[in-house]
Chain A
Amino acid sequence: MKNENQLPDDTEEYLTEKLGSSVSIIDWKRTFPGASRETFILNLKVGGTPEGLVLRIDPMGPAATPYPLAREYKIYESLYGSEVPVAEPLWFDEGVSYASGRAHMVRRLVDGSTSVYGLNDPGESGDRVRRQVVRELVENLARLHSFDWETAGLGTVMPIPSSPAQALRADFEEWRNYWRENQTEVDPVLEEAMHWLLENIPEDTPRVSLTKGNNGIGEEIWQGNRIVALSDWELSCLSDGVVDLSFSEGTLQLADFDEVLRLYEHCTGESISLERVAFGGFLVWLKILVSTRSCMMKPYLEGRHRRINGLAFGLGYSEDPYGKIAACIGRNIVDTWREVVKGERSIYTGYSGA
């Protein structure tokens, strides 16, 4: 294997051994962008029968998330067969000779696409697609947030907040501590911003939910305007579901954000305070900042891995969330959040949310 964009050389032999039937690879491609972990779509013949699988491998360098792949696999296992749609997980392994011992998981390929046809179309037809996409995502997130993670055993692979009131604090503190242990520079500005946010944590979270993490277009598998599988759970955790509304990477900004909130409230049957929404926004920016600087850039700075996009994310991309977090210092967080997100445009269209 020459680089991270290539499938490990012994993939056919490995799959033959795992599936107990002769496997030949018809074609494969590495999904794009898929920056957190290497993800390959494999079209195979298994014992002569066509089959599609998805192979997800820890990168040769650092992953863009502090959470291990084993945890992601456990989420698939827990959700498969529930009303939250996910692909069928087949196995997880690590420390074996395949892929130089890197952690990897295999799931069945779901027919669909990570993009939605017509999403960028102008006019009424495009508006209709955008409205449907937003509704579909909100309904799926609401279902996920009602999922019984406790019975599914997810508390064994991720920290459990002590109570719903402490859900946002626990999530925030986990990321603050990760930053403190893996910070890339001495940064009193970020430290004070985190101090300020901690003093302004809302405690009206009605329940602890399994959250998706980064979600929306580019993450989930869509057939037309419907989600057929929620995918890529690298930043999923137990927290306040409202955090996911700020982590849709532009998807929920396709509609008026107040309407998004009303729809989410309708789907969950619970009202949301603006304090929770605003704090969720700052928490997501902190996660992006820490992922790009501590997970992606730090290994580069320490000479452990010279992947150029790690440095580019850390020096360039992280600046935007950093500025948003810093803006809260000494100010009302709802006002600051409104000010920061006002006029932000979805990357999919020119619509401005909030």
Chain B
Amino acid sequence: MDISILDIVRSINEAISDQVLPEIEAQSWPASRLRSCNVLLTYLEDLLSYEQSVLRDSNQNMKVFLRELFERARHGGGDIALQKDGEDCLRRFSQYTLTEDIKLLRKENRAYKEFLLKIVRSRYGVDKDNLAALHKCLRAVREAESRVAERASKLLPL
């Protein structure tokens, strides 16, 4: 059968927003719950459409930043254990650069973020130059990932 999960989700979402919700009193709890369904289905539509490319972009941004950070840190000393930890993290995922496996992309994303969180909290290697690079990386991650929730964020779930 030639039908995708995305098509089914989109059809349910349209039926709720275009045909069911207009028939229900707006200021009521049933309408509120349907609006929540609307938000979630919209989120799901965009997750199905964009998650793979969003994760690839986001991971790429973090990977480039971490590589450059460790390269600079190698010459400047710093916390050796933390650096080794981060380099292990990069090595673990470097062989999957071109993967389309969504589960692996999610795992990679989480690993990079966990490591970035350590850097943000410890300020490891974050001197004046690296601070600008860190901010640039985080902004790029944010921009890439905002795509998934952008449409859903404009709908009120109440």
Contacts and interface: CB of A to CB of B under 8 A. Distances in A.
A binds B: yes
B6 interface: no
Nearest to B137: A188
Contacts of A313: 157
B39 interface: yes
Contacts of A189: 138, 141-142
Given A316-B152, A316-B157, A319-B150, A188 B29 contact: no
A192 interface: yes
A318 B152 CA distance: 10
Contacts of B120: 188, 191-192, 195
A323 interface: yes
B153 A317 contact: yes
Given A32-B28, A316-B153, A326-B142, A188 B39 contact: no
Contacts of B42: 316
B122 to A, nearest CB: 11
Chain A interface mostly helix, strand, loop or mixed?
A: helix
B135 A308 contact: no
B153 A329 contact: no
Interface string B30-48: 0011011101101100000
Chain B interface mostly helix, strand, loop or mixed?
A: helix
B110 to A, nearest CB: 6
A201 to B, nearest CB: 18
B32 A33 contact: yes
Given A188-B117, A195-B120, A316-B39, A308 B28 contact: no
A30 interface: yes
Interface in B85-132: 110, 113-114, 116-117, 119-121, 131-132
B43 A187 contact: no
Interface in A297-326: 308-309, 311-313, 315-320, 323, 326
Interface residues of A, number: 27
Contacts of B153: 316-320, 323
Contact of B36 (A311, A320, A330): A311
16 contacts: A30-B29, A33-B32, A188-B113, A188-B116, A189-B138, A192-B138, A308-B37, A309-B158, A311-B40, A312-B36, A315-B152, A316-B149, A317-B39, A319-B149, A329-B135, A330-B139
Interface of B: 27-29, 32-33, 35-37, 39-40, 42-43, 110, 113-114, 116-117, 119-121, 131-132, 134-135, 138-139, 141-142, 146, 149-150, 152-153, 155-158
Interface of A: 5, 30, 32-33, 35, 186-189, 191-192, 195, 308-309, 311-313, 315-320, 323, 326, 329-330
